[in-house]
A = this chain, B = another copy of it.
Amino acid sequence: MDKASKVADLAQRRGFYWPSWEIYGGVAGFYDLGPLGKELKNKIIELWKETLMKPLQRIIVELETPIITPYKVLEASGHVENFTDPITECKKCGRKYRADHLIEEKLGIKVEGLSPEDLTKIIRENNIRCPVCGGELSDVKPFLLLFQTQIGPYEGDKGFIRPETAQGAFVNFKRVYQYFREKLPFGIAQIGRVGRNEISPRQGLLRLREFTIAEIEFFFDPENPGKPPLDYDAKIRLLPWELAKQGQKEPVEVTIREALEKGWIINEWMAYWMLKAKELLNKLGIKDEDQYFEEKSPEERAHYSSQTYDQLVRTERYGWMEVSGHAYRGDYDLSRHIKYSGKDLYAFRKYKEPKIVKVKVVKFNPKEIGIRYKSKAKEIMEKLRKMDPEEVERQLQEKGYVEVDGEKIEKGLVWVEEREEKVTGERFVPHVVEPSFGVERLLYVTLEHALREKEGRLVLSLPRRLAPIQAVVLPLLEEEPLIKKAQEVWELLAKRFRVEYDERGSIGRRYARWDEVGVPAAITIDFQTLEDNTVTVRDRDTWKQVRVKIEDLPRVLEEFLEGKELEEIAGSQA
């Protein structure tokens, strides 16, 4: 069994995760999280918040926006047009395939980003046929990866399940800008479910049709982005596209300063979030040498991005696996929503000193207009006031009048004046960088990197603070006085910790049972306990034990979970 199989087997056997709707034969691309998997995920999300939100708590807020999203929002975002995969159908058996994957499997070449026409050509030239029945394949077409639905009882009201949480942040830019009393930069975090209707998902927990994203849309003024609290000397492993396109396969390790100076990372906030992402992965138990950032080529990038790095983690079966994406989305999304909604999603940039500028304004003679146009006068004047002065000037010059509601307002009744105005600043569309994490992928790599074998047994060496169950209380034997004492100890600890209790089977088997699901501390109640109220505490990873007074247990457990070693804590008791 390779590691992926071991993880999957453990996950199903012990309650981390399993395929959804098993009793109905399952559906590809959906997984359930079981009791331990859900708890682990909760802790990963907690750690994510602690690492990505808390250090900037004054400028990062969390929102929650709906999963069901109206058509026009995802039309504006470009998803309706661009969020597709190429699909081809067997003309004989009707099976459908992702065309690029099929070609990659058959020919061993990379074709990501090619057009449907190019893919069709490759299929024809290489005579690629249905891998199941050998039938002829159809022309390649784009397949929309959005799950579609209808909102309410009217058939025209189309909606989708969102493919990312980001759009919920963009459409709310103005609200949050006001929440922050119109100051930039700030970030909107969202953690929530998204759906991507993959054509034929495989790879278990790593390619799902529904999963949880944790992402931040970070808005800033491109002319004055603000300084992230960035450690310029910190090292980061990168494979920039500039090197990759020259054939380089391995990442280079550079300082943040260097990466910025060379232009490999185009923005300081990008660098900040990438460094945080590395830190998060470290906390999940992924070593530096098991992760790096790879820049996507222009063809591979999403439609909205001008630079994207993927954070990759080493996996045994699947190779380097993307767990987060870091995209410079620029002003793409806000500009699109301004265009599609007609609403003001601008920020305001104050000049250091007010500028005196000449502005043109439309003026008119209200009395004369009143006399001449009577009941229509009011509306005409309102429309004149709203007209572009340049346009008014042009019409007056060309035609000698301005046309409003079919009326010709003559020169003299309306004119354009220039006047000086003090302008304190200007509107602009903020830029955005986005760190975006696939939470189930984080869960998977955390499990794979934690799973070890020791003396032929599985031990899940999760970072202690991530452990779904923090301790287990074990009476040495299934005998009354020991059981009673063990129950008391359980009660004591259960107030503050998530603690299991287990009396079934030999003590060795019980240790093994709880090592396997990553319980950091096993607390054994033995006959000495009945005499002196001490218990043994056993470390999941070293299998070493120390004796501790029951009354000290909560403190010992807390310090142990925070990262101290048992010997150290027990030694400090004296």
From residue 39 to 71 of chain A, which have CB atoms closer than 8 A to chain B? 39, 41-42, 57-58, 61-70
5 extra interface residue pairs, beta carbon distance < 8 Å, beyond A32-B172, A143-B153, A181-B504: A24-B73, A24-B171, A35-B179, A57-B498, A148-B150
Judge whether A38 and B15 touch: CB under 8 Å: no
Can you give 6 contacting A-B residue pairs, CB < 8 Å? Answer: A20-B168, A23-B337, A38-B61, A58-B494, A150-B197, A151-B197
Contact A33 B63 (CB under 8 A): yes
| Chain B residue at minimum C-beta to C-beta distance from A186 | B35
Instruction: Give 1 or 0 for each of A531-568: 1 = CB within 8 Å of chain B CB.
Output: 00000000000000000000000000000000000000
**A96–B154 CB distance below 8 A:** yes
Say yes or no: A153-B73 contact (C-beta < 8 A), given A32-B64, A58-B500, A171-B22.
Answer: no
Contact A34 B154 (CB under 8 A): no
A241 at the interface (CB under 8 A from B): no
Contact A341 B62 (CB under 8 A): no
Residues on the B chain within 8 Å of A18, using CB:
175
What DSSP secondary structure best describes chain A's contact surface?
mixed
Q: Mark A182-208, 1 if CB is under 8 A from B, else 0.
A: 000000000011010111100000000
Is A32 a contact partner of B67 (Cβ separation < 8 A)?
no
Are B179's CB and A24's CB within 8 A?
no
Question: Chain B's nearest CB lies how many Å from the CB of A564?
Answer: 19
Q: What are the residues of chain B within 8 A of A153 when measuring CB–CB? A: 87, 96, 143, 197, 199
Tell me, yes or no, whether A255 is within 8 Å of chain B by CB: no
Contact with A149, one of B31, B147, B154, B498 (Cβ below 8 angstroms): B147
Task: Find chain B residues with CB under 8 A from A87 CB.
Answer: 153
A415 at the interface (CB under 8 A from B): no
Chain B proximity of A332: nearest CB distance (Å): 16
The residue among A171, A340, A498 with the most chain B CB atoms within 10 A of its own CB is A171
| A334 to B193 Cα, complex, angstroms | 27
Interface residue? A428 (CB, 8 A): no
Cβ–Cβ contact A175 & B34, under 8 A: yes
Given known contacts A66-B20, A147-B149, is B179 in contact with A58 (CB within 8 Å)?
Answer: no
- A522, chain B: closest CB distance, angstroms: 17
Interface size on A, residues (CB 8 A): 78
A172 and B32 CA atoms in complex are apart in Å by 9
Contact A35 B21 (CB under 8 A): no
Question: A38 with B21: in contact, given A96-B154, A150-B147 (CB under 8 Å)?
Answer: no
A152 within 8 Å of B (CB atoms): yes
B-facing residues in A148-171 (Cβ within 8 Å): 148-154, 157, 159, 161, 168, 171
For A63, give its contact among B34, B57, B175, B501 (CB under 8 Å): B34
* A419 close to B (CB within 8 Å): no
Chain B positions within 8 Å of A301 at CB level? none
A192 to B42, CA, bound (A): 13
Answer whether A24 and B147 are a contact pair too, CB < 8 Å, given A35-B61, A41-B64, A66-B30. Answer: no
Alpha-carbon distance A500/B61, docked complex (angstroms): 12
> Measured between C-beta atoms, what is the minimum distance from A116 to chain B in Å?
15
Question: Smallest distance from the beta carbon of A16 to chain B beta carbons, Å?
Answer: 10
State whether the Cβ of A441 lies closer than 8 Å to any Cβ in chain B: no
Q: Which residue of B lies closest to A41 (CB)?
A: B64
- Whether A345 is near chain B, meaning CB under 8 Å from some CB there, is yes
A3 within 8 A of B: no
Nearest CB on B from A97, distance (A): 9
Least Cβ distance of A460 to chain B in Å? 16
Q: B151 near A27 (CB under 8 angstroms)?
A: yes
Are A30 and B68 in contact, with the CB atoms below 8 A? yes
Query: Which residues of B are found within 8 Å of A9, using beta-carbon distances?
Result: none
A193: chain B residues at CB < 8 Å are 67, 192-193
| Distance between Cα atoms of A343 and B26 in the complex (Å) | 13
* B343 close to A23 (CB less than 8 A): yes
